[in-house]
Structure 1
Amino acid sequence: MTSRFRRLLLTTTAGTLLLMLVGLYTAYKGAGLTCEQRWPLCDGWMGLFPANLVSFIEWSHRLLAMLVGFALLGVLYLAWRRQDDRRVKWAVTAAVVLLPSQIILGALTVTEFTALITAAHFFTASLILLCLTAACVWTVEPPSVGGLRTLAILAAVAVPFHLALDGSLFAVPVSVLTGYYALSFLLWGALVAGALWAHGHGLPRARLLFALGSAVTWFDMLVARRKFGLDQTLTDAGAVVVLVLIAGAIWTLSKRSKTGGLAATRAD
């Protein structure tokens, strides 16, 4: 596996996350409504240039989506030509296969903008990011059990901020909500990585706890969009559940570290 491929994969994954955050900000500002039924054109000169700040936000999202899409195709090419891990190849391939449906759903969020369509758009984007995150995890050396426990502790520290920034406890501006998603997706990615690394260490209980924590974190992000008629207190309960699951993972990994240390001492 070449360092060039690893850098491009990491950059594309970060770009995908940035694209999702810009898309969420665009949705919160209602910028897609500047185009409405004129998609793929918009409201500027000849429908090709932004007419104001709001349409500039929408166009910026489109430009970034194009750049990330081309980068993803480059990652796909290098995945099949320059590295041997089949897991990475198929994870990147799955992300590219999902790309056309994500583009179609993106168009529908402008022309239709229903709760179901926006949920599908968010779900598909999350799947693409999940595939790329898994590919990134498989390209690096997995941490030790102690390192995995440190990852879980850092994730636990992030959970209170994940709870405080979601807007269910107090009203927050759009910029803070975007920050909420930035933090929450990083938390989600850390838990996904923890689940994959725990699997590599043969730790099924830790893997399950990490995986459940990532699933609940994602559901919290879905509810926080306030488009689906769900009680916002679900996000508060979800954060508590995530914290309990991470605490369970920390406890499980601590037991494994102690067991490993005792085994090493006896071997000496």
Structure 2
Amino acid sequence: MSSERPSGGSRFRQLIARVGFPHLLATTLVLVAATILLGVAAKATGSGLACEANWPQCDAGPFDLFPANLPSFYEWFHRFVAMFAGFAIIGSALAAWRSPSIDTRVAALVVLGMVLTPIQVVLGRETVLQYEMTILSLHFWTAVLIFALFVVATVLVWESSLTRRHLRGALALGAVSLPLHVALSPIVVTDITEYSPSVQMAQYGVTLALLAAAIVAVMIGRRRLSNRRLLGLLAGVVMLTFVVVFLGRRAVMTLNPVLDDLYLVFAAILMVAFLAGIWLVPSASSREANALSR
């Protein structure tokens, strides 16, 4: 009977095998999205400078580790979830790096996400200590980049089971999310009610859905379609989505009528692109349809 004990590396691989790397990656993606939305909530409620501008401590309890009031709780809870998101990012990266069965593209994406994580932590610290708009923007866009990296990695892991139906579903999600994004923007919603913290969280939730839909659509299309024009359309959807998200955020921050108009124009173009994609995907050739159905 062998007395050899499994090495640390083999134990780690056994743990990942039990959990399932695709599920670990999906869980990490959810935690990253939750961290972004909680950060939006903290900013929207004016809680970014709660915790008496302490970091990483807060303003109550032993060593000032816990929140003293509701605004402090928003900021504290954002940091609390971000901590678990960070651990999940590191765990995903280590699992991808140490497992020979993981696609090297997936490993590269999640490792890049891990490299960006300490940068994001430093930016989060600076939002508390300085709270400047430039730092807030960098903090937000770094989080969005990490989110996008994990969306791409998750799709790569699951892509063998994704078909034309999922492609159309992603385009349909984008087509539904886009008008909601516009309706929840200050350009429209302030004619009905105020741009409250709950409205802001809803709009940014739709933002993440919109980004994910565009990325998923182009990635499935790249694998399942050979029609170059349709692939070009899907690539245009991704670029337009990032433009719309960027202009929508800038319009909120600057209240510039020109940016408002540009946001609405590009949103309209993107809507046409989503609908055209939904219409054109089923009209692929029979060879493409057979490939999609496999």
* Band of TM-score, shorter chain: 0.7 to 0.9
Q: Does 1:9 align with 2:25?
A: yes
Distance of 1:116 and 1:125 partners within structure 2: 14
Verify the 8 A CA contact 1:168 1:235 in the aligned structure 2: no
Q: CA deviation at 1:191?
A: 0.6
Q: Is the radius of gyration larger for structure 1 or structure 2?
A: 2
Matches within 5 A, 1:47-62: 47-62=64-79
- Residue 32 and residue 143 in structure 1: after superposition, are their counterparts in 2 closer, same or farther (change >3 A)? same
Distance of 1:260 and 1:205 partners within structure 2: 20
User: Which of 128, 131, 153 is residue 110 of structure 1 equivalent to?
Assistant: 128
- Backbone CA RMSD of aligned residues: 2.3
Q: Which shifted more, 119-128 or 47-56?
A: 47-56
Q: CA deviation at 1:33?
A: 1.2
Residue 239 of structure 2 aligns with an amino acid whose one-letter code is: L
Distance of 1:120 and 1:262 partners within structure 2: 41
- Structure 1 spans left out of the alignment, 5+ residues: none
**2:273 matched to which residue of 1?**
245
Residue 55 of structure 1 aligns with an amino acid whose one-letter code is: S
Verify the 8 A CA contact 2:184 2:203 in the aligned structure 1: yes
Q: Does 1:211 align with 2:238?
A: yes
Q: CA deviation at 1:220?
A: 4.2
Per the normalisation by structure 2, the TM-score is 0.80
Secondary structure, counterpart of 1:152 in structure 2: helix
Give the aligned length.
261
Q: Does 1:222 align with 2:249?
A: yes
Secondary structure, counterpart of 1:254 in structure 2: helix
Per the normalisation by structure 1, the TM-score is 0.88
Verify the 8 A CA contact 1:191 1:210 in the aligned structure 2: yes
Matches within 5 A, 1:1-268: 4-35=20-51, 37-45=53-61, 46-82=63-99, 83-140=101-158, 141-171=160-190, 172-201=195-224, 202=226, 203=228, 204-223=231-250, 226-231=252-257, 232-256=260-284, 259-260=285-286
Residue 159 of structure 1 aligns with an amino acid whose one-letter code is: L
- Residue 260 and residue 212 in structure 1: after superposition, are their counterparts in 2 closer, same or farther (change >3 A)? farther
Q: CA deviation at 1:145?
A: 3.3
Secondary structure, counterpart of 1:168 in structure 2: helix
Residue 68 of structure 1 aligns with an amino acid whose one-letter code is: A
Distance of 2:244 and 2:149 partners within structure 1: 17
Distance of 1:150 and 1:73 partners within structure 2: 31
